[in-house]
Structures are given as C-alpha cells and as structure tokens.
Amino acid sequence: MLSEFYGLPRSDIEFNLFYLEPQEVLISSVVVSLKSGDFESESGKLHLNTRSFIFQPTFSKHPLLKFKLSSNDFSYSFNFPPSLSITQSPNSKSHSSTVDRESRIIRHANAPDRNPSSKSIKRAKIHRGHHTSDGSSTLIISVKSYGVISRSPPSPCQSQQVAETFFFEMSQGDLLKLSTELDMIMRSTDEKAITSLVYSVRYKESLSMLQNVDDFNPDDILLTQKCKRILPEGEQWGSFVMTQESLHFYPLINAKPKRAVHIQFKIIYSGMRYRYLWRNNGLRIDYYGSKYPVLFIFETEEQRENIYNFLLNRVKFKSPADQLVDAMEKWRNGYLSNFQYLMFLNNIGNRSVLDMTQYPIFPWILSKYHGEDLPLYDYTNFRDLSKPIGSLDRSKLEKLEALQVESKNQIEPPSLYSSFYSTSTIVSYFLLRQIPEFLVRNQNQIYSTQDKMFNSVEKSWNSSIKMIGDNKELIPEFYSRNPDFLLNLNDMELTNDEKLSDVEIPPWSRDANSFTEIMRDALESDFVSENLHNWIDLIFGYRQRGEQAVASLNTFPSTCYGINWNSFKSTLEKDAYEILLREFGSCPKQLFFIPHSPRSFRLLPETQKPIEKNEAVLRQEISQLEDYLDQIQDYHQEQLNKLLKQYQAETDSLKRNHIIAVEVYQSKIKNKK
C-alpha cells in the first residue's frame, strides 16, 4: 500500500470512454468502412453506445464523428444482402424470417433527449422500405447535423449543421448483431435496463467460452460471477473467474480497453474491502508488476466477502488495521514522508486514482501565492491545518453560518457547507490539461470558456477560501514533482478555437517544475510535520463526523456521509442519488476515532541511521505510546474478552481430554498386568 504515486492512468487517445457522456455506456464496437462525401472509403470502428454512435477512423489525425440517437433529424436503416436468413430467439413472436431484396428501416423522429432522467421518450417508428444498396451489409445513417471531435489535439465536440448520409459497410454477422442491439436501444425508455439485458446475454455467452480459453484449466474454476471493474473513464461490466491459483476478469460491456485481467495469487501483496457509491461490495487488489491496483465491484456484499476471505486465507496479506498501525508509527518516527503517509491514508481510506468519485485528497498547504519570495521557515506563509478549508476566511464563514441558520427548518439536517472538498468535477477541473477528453465529456458544464477553468493557482486558492460554493482541497499531483497537469502539452483548444493556456503559477517559482518542487518541499516542511495530524483528524479522523465535526465547523450534506440504499422505494430514486454521489463526492473511510498522534521527528534521510534519543524524549514517546495502546485496548476490550473466554474454554476442553486419555492409558496398563 506504500507504492509510488503514478497519477491518473492515461487512456487510449484514439478512443476511450471519456468521449461518452456521463453514465453513457459502450455496447458494441465493429470494424466498418465508411463511404460518404469527404469520408469516402474511410476504414475504422463504429461504436454503438446507449445514447450515440461514434465513428473512430483508423487514421488518428482524422476526427471522431458522433451521431446522437436522440436527434430529431436522425434516421437509420439496415441493408442486408439478398436472401439473408435471420434467426431470432425462441422468445420472439416469429422464430425466423427472411429478408429478400429489402431492408429493415427504422426512422427516429421528433424524440426528446435520451438522457435517462428524461420524463418522456417516444418509441422509434419502425417500417420496411425497399432495398437500395449494392448487396453488401450496410448501416445507413441520415442526419441533418452531427458532431465532430478532434483528436489531434483533443477538442470539444463541434456541431456540423449539414444534411448528410453515411454508409457503414461491415460483415453480415456484425450487422445482424448491431441491428438487434440498436433496435433494443431505440425501443426502450430505460437505458439501464437495456445495459443490464445485454450484459446478461453476454455473461451467459462468456460462460461457455471459458471452456476454450488458454488462461487456465477449466477444471480448476472455483467460481464465475458477474462483476464490474472501476476505471477512471467508467465502469466495465464483465465476467469474474477465480481458479485454484489465479483470478481473471473479462470485460463484456464498456469493453474499452478490451484486454482481460489475469492475476496469479502469488503476485498479490495486498487486498482490502472497497466501498463504491456507499455500497460495501467492492474489492481492491494490489499486485506486483502493475503500477495500479484493480477495483472490482460485485453484485452483493456476500459475494465480495466470500472472495475476500478466500484470498486472505490463500495470500496471507496484512489486514488494513495492521498496516495502519505500522504506517502511523513509521510516519511519527520519521521513516515515512508526509506525502507517503497521506497517500497511504488515502489508499486505505477508500480513495484511489482509478475512482473519479473517490480520488485521493491532499490539503492546501501554503497561503501565499503571490510575491517573489517564499521562505518556508516563515509560518505565516502556511495555511491553518486545524481548520477546514471553508472556514479559513472569517467573512465567508459568517455568511455560511447565516445560511445554515436559515435552513434549520428544512427536513435535511443543516450543514455548514453545500459543496464537498473532493468531487469528480474538482478532479477533472485540475487535470483537464493532462486528460484532454475532459473537454469533450464536460464541455457543457465548466469548460466553455477560459475563466471557468483552472488557469491560476492563486485564483483557485482565493476561490476555495472566499467563495461560498467552493471548498475544494487539492489532489496529489500538486506535490508529485510532475508538472504536466499544469501545462498544455497537447495543444488543446476550446470551442471558440482559442488555445488553452498553461496554468499561471506564483511568482516565487520560476516555472511549473519549480512550482511542484517547492510545493513538495512545503509539504515536508517543519510546519506541516508539526501540524498535519490536525488535518488528518478532519479528513480521516475523529473530527470527520458527529459532534466533533460540528464543533470543528466540518459538516457537509448528509449524502457525503452515507446512504441507506434499502430506504428507497423506487429504482428512479436510487438512480437519482447515484448520479448525485458521482457528482458531489463522499467522505473517506473514517480511520481514527481518537485524536491522531503528532509527529515526533522530521523525515530521516535514507542513508541516515536512527538518531540517538535522550532519556526525556524516550520517556515522552513511551508515555504517548502507552496512552495510545490503552485507548485501543479500551476500544476493543469486549472483543478481547470474548477471545480470552474462547481460549479458556478450548484450554479447559484440552485439559479434560488429556486427563481422560491418561486415565484410559493407565487403565490399559493395569489390565495388561
């Protein structure tokens, strides 16, 4: 769990799930040849999604083409070869039919937005037309407008208001599959139901395919079940397989990237339960040979527990509680840096760079982002780490407290802040230059103009401490010594053809690289080492929740602290709260229930042996450690007593058995005599 920080993994810029809308799902991808106007004889892939078609040309310099299924001027048809027999499922009204020199034509007109939250979605009109193609298997799309997404450099989607028809030629098998799935999407008003249906069909198909894979012996399979894998760009639906020696994941829906995951038990060095969208059904696995862990989400908590317990018995890795005690003592005594310890707390506190809804949290450290000089020995240049970021400015705090008083009559318990300190929007705000596809996914939210973007460190700091609706903390990249997220290395442009600028850095740093170096030095400074435990109490510790949170001015909307999914009566209500969680964030797992111990020493150089401590320092450390152990013992006394009673009962039983055995043996000796 103390691995290096590698930042957000880079997705394939050719095409990835970031090009889709939030919660949109990739259903199928087929190899096609596009014939239409300027795009004549363009080879590539056609991706069918729950809200759109996206054409990905093979030549990466060419842009993506996007056709929204909800467009009022969108229509499509399928041209099959003559005398093509189509076999349908037994549940259909007709078991088979023949398409002879005609094509099935489906026209979708006057339909509202296909967003799942839309109240009314009309069904597509279906009728037959005459065969007009040259006999090849072709999907014909006719539109009056479509989107163009540049990939070199990545830029926001540009709408082309021009009537055009696109001919996508593909294999007969691909067209049959595509036509079936597209029909399902266009007929349905429930986007999630369609995804679940396709997933169920593919999962059943995958079970039969497992008998022919080369990754393992099918006779060694212990279990197979449905599972999701969490990636920064979205969730992959797939098939989870566990054998005697390994585990495997085969993506089936949102299969981009399509490659499977194969992990031998012998290379796993850590595993822990993972909470996702306030459901305790996830599993995080760290293993040698990979910079990043894998995050699996199972259908039930029981499924996760069975797999976790099996791995725990097989691999014998340390429990999170044991790791936490070890890491805290190493940090307190100078064997872990502040950066390493914060990354560890984030990892064990249910945060991951793979999960945009629960990205690692780091604090604003400095309070001065102007001027030529920044002496780190001057403590006035640092932020007060004992207070939440939203309460640092007195004027802002007074306004927040006034708003809190006004909202006390509402059903929802009043919180001091209306926005959280870590959300997926904040992550994309900071990492826009590093992950250019954020421009495409979120262009209608925060990326329409330069002034809404992360363009200045000082302005971002001022916004966090002064603006009512802004309470954001930072992300690890600010202290990682890698300045790429501050620079427009991809030559990105905005919707108005304006080039995106580099982030403006404080005058006390000569360039972006110097800025991240100074930020790291500030994080490891004496002031932070002496006060970081106070910030840990707010984010991961005893001041995160309850009365201590209220007293510390550290309260947020109730959804940030948990959701009881069983309390909802309808699927629609659950879906609404799930979207809310994805956008507005959630608290890390609470790791400490008593005040965190302060640091005893600064970080020791790697080549330096432990320093000799005088008697007074040793006594102080021993006293602090004894106090901490006493508190832990009190907290777990009941469990310890149970274990002692169980041990005593087992010991008594063994003694009785031993006495009986001795008596039996002595009796046999006497009988022989």
Q: What is the DSSP string of 509-548?
A: SSSHHHHHHHHHHHHTSHHHHHHHHHHHHHHTSTTSSHHH
Residue closest to 197 by CA, chosen among 173, 174, 180: 180
Count Cβ atoms below 10 Å from residue 147 Cβ, excluding itself: 20
Task: Check if the beta carbon of residue 18 is closer than 8 Å to that of residue 233.
Answer: yes
Q: Tell how strand 102-107 and strand 75-79 pair up.
A: antiparallel
Helix (H, G, I), strand (E, B) or coil at 316: coil
Predicted pLDDT of residue 108: 39
Q: First vs last Cα of the chain: how many Å apart?
A: 66
H-type alpha helices, 56-113: none
Q: Tokens at residue 394, please?
A: 């007195």
- Euclidean distance between CA atoms 140 and 75, whole angstroms: 8
Q: Tell how strand 102-107 and strand 125-130 pair up.
A: antiparallel
Chain centroid, CA 396 distance in Å: 31
Q: What is the pLDDT of residues 150-174, one digit of tens each?
A: 887 777 788 888 888 999 999 999 9
- Euclidean distance between CA atoms 55 and 49, whole angstroms: 11
Q: For residue 117, what are the contacts with CB-CB under 8 A and spacing of at least 6? A: 575, 576, 579
Q: What is the DSSP string of 354-384?
A: T-GGG---B---BS--SSS---TT-GGGB--
Q: For residue 491, what are the contacts with CB-CB under 8 A and spacing of at least 6? A: 153, 499
Predicted pLDDT of residue 605: 54
Give me the domains of the chain, ranges plus CATH numbers. Answer: 17-187 (no CATH), 201-317 (2.30.29.30), 327-611 (1.10.1540.10)
SS (H, E, C) 188-200: CCCHHHHHHHHHH
- Euclidean distance between CA atoms 347 and 284, whole angstroms: 10
> In degrees to the nearest 10, what's the CA dihedral of 545, 551, 556, 562?
20
Where the chain has pLDDT below 70, the residues are 1-4, 12-13, 36-40, 71, 82-135, 409-412, 442-451, 495-497, 601-640, 642-643, 647, 658, 661-662, 664-665, 668, 672-673
Instruction: Tell me the β-bridge partners of 272.
Output: 284
Q: For residue 610, what are the contacts with CB-CB under 8 A and spacing of at least 6? A: 333, 604
- Euclidean distance between CA atoms 556 and 543, whole angstroms: 12
Task: Check if the beta carbon of residue 150 is closer than 8 Å to that of residue 488.
Answer: no
Helix (H, G, I), strand (E, B) or coil at 119: coil
Preceding omega of 257 cis (within 30 degrees of 0): yes
SS (H, E, C) 145-175: CEEEECECCECCCEEECCCEEEEEECCHHHH
Predicted pLDDT of residue 133: 46
Predicted pLDDT of residue 500: 84
Element (H, E) at 104: strand 102-107
Predicted pLDDT of residue 41: 80
Q: What is the pLDDT of residues 384-413, one digit of tens each?
A: 999 999 999 999 999 999 988 877 766 567
Predicted pLDDT of residue 60: 84
Residue closest to 582 by CA, chosen among 459, 471, 442: 442
Predicted pLDDT of residue 29: 94
Helix (H, G, I), strand (E, B) or coil at 125: strand
Task: Check if the beta carbon of residue 351 is closer than 8 Å to that of residue 359.
Answer: yes
